[in-house]
Copies of this chain bind each other. A is one copy, B any other.
Amino acid sequence: MIFKAHKAHMNNLSNMTKTRICVIGAGPCGMSMLYNYANMDAGSDVEIVCYEKQTTWGGLWNLTWRTGTDEYGEPCHAGMYKHLWSNGPKECLEYPYYTFEDHFGKAVPSFPPRPVLLDYLLGRMKKCKKDPTQYIKFSTAVRFVKYNESEDNFTVTSTNLVDDKTVTEKFTHVVVAVGIFNSPNIPTFPGIESFGGRILHAHNFRDAGEFKDQRLLLIGASYSAEDIALQCCKYGAKNVICTWRTKPMGFKWPEGIEERPLVQRFDSNSAYFKDGTSAEVDAVILCTGYLYTFPFMDENLRLKCTLSVYPEGLYKGSLWLGGGNNKLFYAGIQDQYYTFTMFDVQTLWICNYILGKYEKLEMTEMLKDSNAMVERRKGLKDCHDDIDFQSDFVAELCSLTDYDKRCVDARSLFHKWEHDKDENIKTYRDKCFASIFTSTMSPSHSSDWWNAFDDSIKTFVGK
């Protein structure tokens, strides 16, 4: 652990008497940032303000019935849908100091539906030493972040959406924690404008029940396509065709789901595929991922690369080396296997860094460190390589902080989970995992996932 207070660094916070940290986003990652700050007694010279567009915290775990834009005309942030269950075991994201057993008073199954995970997230925040809500400005959208060279600080322009008031505030540090699933990527396809049925991006998918008895075409071969195909099949779609660009998902699909190479064009309700086949479909769901975009950041502060487990230009996966004098951070902005625990340790590292607990390095050293990680990333071949890479990344952050190293034991759980999915995509959510921290084996759910239509906390937790 490197905990040497670096005076030169502290003195750099020159023009403002206080260290003022701006956090953008109060989803799981922003919540970790606030949790760490609230628990660390940073002193009265360090302030934190978190801006959150939504009316409450929890980020993408909040479900809204609205699509497109919200009640204030802002693009809907969360693309959550009804009936979503975690697609990974909860043991892989369990907080070391607040386990699911701590939260529910008993062991619960490994794959929770959305309301259970949200409840757990919110429950953990109640364990803060100080009330973290005091730091948050809800229903407030950040419009623009600018670095002031002469003052070595940031001007953050934000709008309170309720009273439509726009204000600017100055901060010494900015932490961008807006997540990676908020701005849908909506590519076009020849003839799609002639398609006679409904077309939507997965971000606007709300309820599989809307597609009962329909013939669906899902464009994409990642998590959204995988889960929405299963959901729709489970909730009575007539059939689902998933179409892939690079490679098929390749799971042993239940009856009613198939994969075909990329759709080439549409002609009214007919879709034509690369293998020469065609199909009549009623609706098209674009599971084409998200834009990796930060439009509210000034040009020179904006992370511009593609999503990966280690984006270019970030020291320790967090500190932006492209501008802002080492006072701008992107947190939870990498492609993720680890989530809650990675956000925890990453934001703990950020807190420590801001408070000057690390020896300050030259830019060349930080770039060298970052570039070495990016080089290693480029050699990753499959999801198992990705899991090992991210496990090492989390382990390194644990070694630089006092975060519980056991969280990296999730590594073997992730590998097993991938094998479970390959074995049977319909039943992998019925598997049980043991908590890393309590060693308790999770119980089975009262019904297998395919036949579970009740997403309530009560049913999931049991009596």
Interface residues of A, Cβ cutoff 8 Å to B: 63, 65-73, 75-76, 143-144, 157, 159, 164-166, 183-184, 186-188, 192-193, 195-201, 203-204, 206-207, 209-210, 291, 293, 295, 298-299, 302, 304
Contacts and interface: CB of A to CB of B under 8 A. Distances in A.
Contacts of A197: 207, 209-210
A323 to B, nearest CB: 13
Given A68-B68, A68-B200, 4 more contacts: A67-B67, A68-B201, A69-B183, A73-B75
Given A73-B291, A75-B73, A295-B73, A65 B193 contact: yes
A148 to B, nearest CB: 15
Contact of A192 (B65, B72, B157): B65
A203 B204 CA distance: 14
A69 B298 CA distance: 21
A186 B298 contact: no
Copies in the assembly, this chain: 2
Contact of A304 (B66, B164, B206): B164
B187 A71 contact: yes
Given A66-B186, A71-B187, A293-B73, A144 B157 contact: yes
A101 to B, nearest CB: 30
B65 A195 contact: yes
B67 A204 contact: yes
Contacts of A291: 72-73
A234 to B, nearest CB: 15
Contacts of A304: 164
A235 to B, nearest CB: 10
